[in-house]
Structure 1
Amino acid sequence: MPLGNPVNPTGSANINSIVTTPFTVRVIPRDQHSISRRDISPNALRVLYRLRESGFGAYLVGGAVRDLLVGGRPKDFDVATDATPEQIKQLFRNCRLIGRRFRLAHVVFGREIIEVATFRANVDDGSGDREVENGMLVRDNVYGSIEDDAVRRDFTCNALYYAIEDFSVRDYTGGFEDVMARRMKLIGDPEQRYREDPVRMLRAVRLAAKLNFEIEAATAEPIPRLANLLSEAAPARLFEEVLKLFLSGHGVASFEGLERYGLLAVLFPESAAALKSNRTGALRRILIDGLRNTDERVANEEPVSPAFLFALLLWPAFCRALIGLQKQGLAPEEAQRRAADRVTLHQLSTIALPRRFSLPMQEIWLLQSRFSSRQRKRVMRTLSHPRFRAAFDFLALRQAASSEHQEDIAFWREAQAQAGQELGVELDSVHTDREVEEGAPRRRRRRRPRGSATAGE
């Protein structure tokens, strides 16, 4: 079934590549798929039934359908309908309309929001509800059919519709077969779809990692060639995409996918260069170990800070910059500060890392050099630092690269468990023991008052 060249309603698009080809639908009846209403949000079901009872078409759509088919547990349930946003608002008192560029209805049930979108058309009806500037859709509220809506989506696995009236799945793009084969496949010509919106390359990697899908050969082939197009994407958008890649519980697989398709060098150029030049593989071991721990925290529903994530992702770049500055003869502390600033500044040209994350990230790096100190005042200051716990966790990760940190890790782990006075006594004892080992402490010379020195001195 030819699909032509669909339009992306949420990104750039070529308005001349609109699909006009007629489509046939494959209906997968209830007894031939695994989706059960028991696994669908009760609030999503309320929306679907209310729309249907009011005479509108109503379908669960996109990621929720895809995830349910492979046995996943969706966090979000989106609905597609032929009702307009204004009609949806009339049906639900708990509804608010959002967006100018892409008008949507949010039906609010406490902390859960069911997003309801009206089918979008593939043609401009002349009403002025579709606006294009420099090839970018800045407004797109021309409504159409379910067939139009299906082919405008990015991947076939996201273009499946669960119909509430008979519990069937409607497939207009071959997505059902692709999901069953665990295959990521773009709708339309892959190269053109990536050029319309380069961030789709990241979405392909992220969804493949999340779902354990293979990226279909024709969909994968252009990615290394077009990877540099990501530099045209808005840095703020790339920041959000990086969080999705690495904080959704599939960070290791996402990282490996970025490496495989040449995307890592575009997103994190200095880290990628450092990893490539690190012959021992120590920096990569730290990264993989850290991402594995992050995945475990996400699985256990434990918080993960973006500052810690970026400290991990940019650590190879920091280490490389630090070595270069030290070779220039800079003092260690000055070299560390300059390396942290340099890496952060360079990375901001690609990914818009907010200061509320970049500053803690730098503190995590700069605290690493303090862990070798056993001086009482420095130890107490380090323990009281607001970023101590994150920095200590980062030190523990560095053990994946070298066993030389074992002594420091043991000391600081014990230091956290001790009361302040008890720790102070122990540190004083250690200091005294060292003086005995090194010989009797020197007597402090008393300063003479100015002018008291003899002429002979």
Structure 2
Amino acid sequence: MLKKLFKSFRLPLKRKAHPRSTPEVLSNRQHALQRAKFSRNAVNVVERLQHAGYQAYLVGGCVRDLLLGLQPKDFDVATSATPEQVRAEFRNARVIGRRFKLAHVHFGREIIEVATFRANHPQGDDEEDSHLSSRNESGRILRDNVYGSLEDDAQRRDFTINALYFDVTGERILDYAHGVHDIRNRLIRLIGDPEQRYLEDPVRMLRAVRFAAKLDFDIEKHSAAPIRQLASKLRDIPSARLFDEVLKLFLAGYAEHTFDLLVEYDLFAPLFPASAAALKRNPDYTGTLIRQALANTDERIAQGKPVTPAFLFAALLWPALPARVLHLQERGMPPIPAMQEAAHDLITEQCQRIAIPKRFTLPIREIWDMQERLPRRSGKRADLLLENPRFRAGYDFLLLREDAGEETGGLGDWWTDYQDATDSERRSMIRDLANRQEEAGDGPAKKRRRGGRNKRRGPSTDAPAGD
């Protein structure tokens, strides 16, 4: 495939560590990319900017993916025009961002992202540029609006495979950092000094893992070397930004491989500290449950089915929860209140690292709460649970726990049969369940006394006090 895409183009055996000031130019005879393969709207944006006197190229992921025979998710444009100049050229454009200002050009549901060429950031205390670019004490870039030339833009991009520019006019590829070489060798390589680039933006460590998982590439050894040492720098990243990055990591169709790489490079613990501790304590169960949940997510995405982040986060955090629930129960708290309090504390802690929105934390807690309610099936409880809007998610989560090796006494099979049973079969199942519980010494089925309320017989595995 790659040989066809690159035709007869021959690459040097060795490559330089830093980007070139002048690009290596691949003519349309040396690669198989054509402008027709790119979004028509993106090509139109490039041409309109060029006709207005600006430099403009298709850049980054869309060029990389098409060289690999993949369909790009979106199409980005790099230009010498400022965001305000882009907006002046397109009535359907609006300027967004503060840390990284750029323009979005809207074509119905498609958005073409147009970014101005950026330059490297000033290292000194130049007050003139302080409102455009700044770093904190550790070197992390806080604002990134220093504009520059095309050559500057190529040098400040993160990975070599993203420093590829496609000229729609001559169908040429401009390669400033030997990105084509790394594509052919299936390598993720940082541009510049890896440690410095990670300190500028620690999220680049997550991006390296994400691209390696997506493209099935290796992280080049010099680019991989500092990651474990600098993994803790992710704690300096705003929790809201990490939420967006985690969704990119786990909701793109290669979550299981991504998880393995995060663990390999010690990046999982800064994102999910409680879950990482559970993984260390019980690697078989925790690893199996998380990987199974991520494999299911990948499968649903491959089939075009919807995926909710709530279920994903519920699975990622669950291994840290049971020990906390048990601790509260040992202090005398009934199971369901113990589950609720432990869930609240765990999610609160997690949101300090990753700002999971309330629209997801509420269903996470409901899915977990359902795990305490599903064993309680006597009387009309089973039918009431079936009517619960979170039943399906709770039931799926129960099966996930069983697949990971949790022993539930056949609870998953019981609920599977109950959903498919007729009304009379369901009544029979409830009676059989009550008889088995009585024979096992769990207490007889409760009877309503005339003129009074149910009289509880004390805690049992099926209907504890406090339910």
Shorter-chain TM-score tier: 0.7 to 0.9
Q: 1:49 aligns with which of 34, 39, 47?
A: 47
Q: Measure how far apart 1:405 and its partner are.
A: 4.2
CA distance in 1, matches of 2:445, 2:344: 41
1:337 aligned partner:
340
* Aligned twin of 2:394: 391
The residue identity in structure 2 corresponding to 1:345 is: T
For the 8 Å contact 2:187–2:220, the answer to whether it is kept is: yes
Deviation, 1:381, is 2.1
CA distance in 2, matches of 1:247, 1:383: 28
Alignment check: 8 A CA contact 2:434 2:444 kept: no
TM alignment of 1:8-407, pairs within 5 A:
23-122=21-120, 126=128, 130-132=132-134, 134=136, 140-278=144-282, 281-402=284-405, 404-405=407-408, 407=410
The alignment's TM-score, normalised by the length of structure 1, stands at 0.85
Distance in 2 (CA, whole Å) between partners of 1:295 and 1:70 is 21
Whether the 8 Å CA contact 2:339–2:372 is kept in 1: the answer is no
Letter in 2 for 1:185: R
Give unpaired runs (5+ residues) of structure 2.
1-15, 453-467
- Which piece of structure 1 moves more, 200-209 or 133-142? 133-142
Number of corresponding residues: 429
Instruction: Give the drift of 1:305.
Output: 1.0
What are the superposed Cα offsets for residues 87-142 of structure 1, whole Å, 9 maximum, x if unpaired? 43343332223334433222211000111122123477957762436466565544
Alpha-carbon distance in 2 for matches of 1:317, 1:443:
38
SS in structure 1 of the partner of residue 165 of structure 2: strand
> Does structure 2 conserve the Cα–Cα contact (< 8 Å) formed by 1:61 and 1:80?
yes
CA distance in 2, matches of 1:156, 1:436: 68
How much does 1:372 deviate? 2.2
- Tell me if the contact between 1:106 and 1:114 (Cα under 8 Å) persists in the aligned partners: yes
CA distance in 2, matches of 1:410, 1:175: 52
**Farther off after superposition, 66-75 or 331-340:** 331-340
For the residues of structure 1 that align with 2:366 and 2:438, how far apart are their CA atoms? 35
SS of match in other structure, 1:65: helix
**Distance (Å, rounded) in 2 between the aligned partners of 1:255 and 1:442:** 47
Q: How much does 1:285 deviate? A: 1.0
* Secondary structure, aligned partner of 2:380: helix
Give 1:169 shift: 0.9
Task: Measure the CA separation in 2 of the matches of 1:362 and 1:257.
Answer: 28
Q: What secondary structure does 1:162 align onto?
A: strand
Between 1 and 2, higher relative CO (CA 8 Å, sep ≥ 6) is seen in: 1
Q: 1:95 to 1:346 in 2, by over 3 A?
A: closer
Alpha carbons of structure 1 residues 200 and 446: separation in structure 2 relative to 1, 3 Å: closer
Distance 1:432 1:310 in 2: 35
C-alpha separation in 2, matches of 1:68 and 1:57: 22
Aligned-residue Cα RMSD (Å) equals: 2.9
Which segments of 5 or more consecutive residues in structure 1 lack a partner in the other structure? Answer: 5-21, 449-457
Contact residue 292 and residue 404 of structure 2 kept, 8 A: no
Task: Kindly state the Cα deviation for residue 69 of structure 1 after the two structures are TM-superposed.
Answer: 1.2
Between the aligned partners of 1:205 and 1:83, the Cα distance in structure 2 is 32
Corresponding residue SS for 2:77: strand
Structure showing greater Rg: 1
Normalised to the residue count of structure 2, the TM-score between the two structures is 0.83
Question: Residues 345-369 of structure 1, C-alpha deviation per residue, up to 9 Å, x if partnerless?
Answer: 2212211122221121111112112
